[in-house]
Amino acid sequence: MRLVVGMIIQETNSFSSVSTSIQSFKDVMFLEGDEIPLKLKRTNTEVAGFMDRVCKEKCDSVYTLATSASSSGPVQREALDFLLSRLLNQLEKAGIIDGVYLICHGSMLVDKIPDGTGHILQVVREKIGLNIPIVVSLDLHA
């Protein structure tokens, strides 16, 4: 089984006037491809939990993007577009896949997009089609 893993996390505080930029993500965490399992193995993260389970199941994992920003105001549209382009680029390189695991917070607002997480899911769904399952983990209160 070939599974794709991606992570885009940001919790929006709609009262904050400080928008979340690409640099906001790069300042906290911005990993791509093979550096994801190298840096996140044995950490207290969803990615590490997935890796532990995948190793036991002997699945082939393709790591795309793992990025996170601190809680702040809405994400700038160009920042989300940049992150999605990086994730989709890695997804295209993955070839034939059996499923996608996305790690999100679930309360992301983006300029002119009221549901940033929903937008991420929609874009990935459009890319992979209707027949490949997508599993998403969200923060409990989101």
Alpha carbons 119 and 79: distance in angstroms, whole number: 13
- Look up the pTM and report it: 0.94
Domain map (residue ranges) of the chain: 2-137
Average of per-residue pLDDT values in the chain: 94
pLDDT above 70 covers a percentage of the chain that reads: 97
Look up residue 35 and give its two tokens: 């550096």
Tell me the pLDDT tens digit for each residue of 81-113.
Answer: 999 999 999 999 999 999 999 999 999 999 999
Measured in degrees and rounded to the nearest 5, phi and psi for residue 43 equal -110, 165
Tell me the pLDDT tens digit for each residue of 40-84.
Answer: 998 999 999 988 887 676 789 999 999 999 999 999 999 999 999
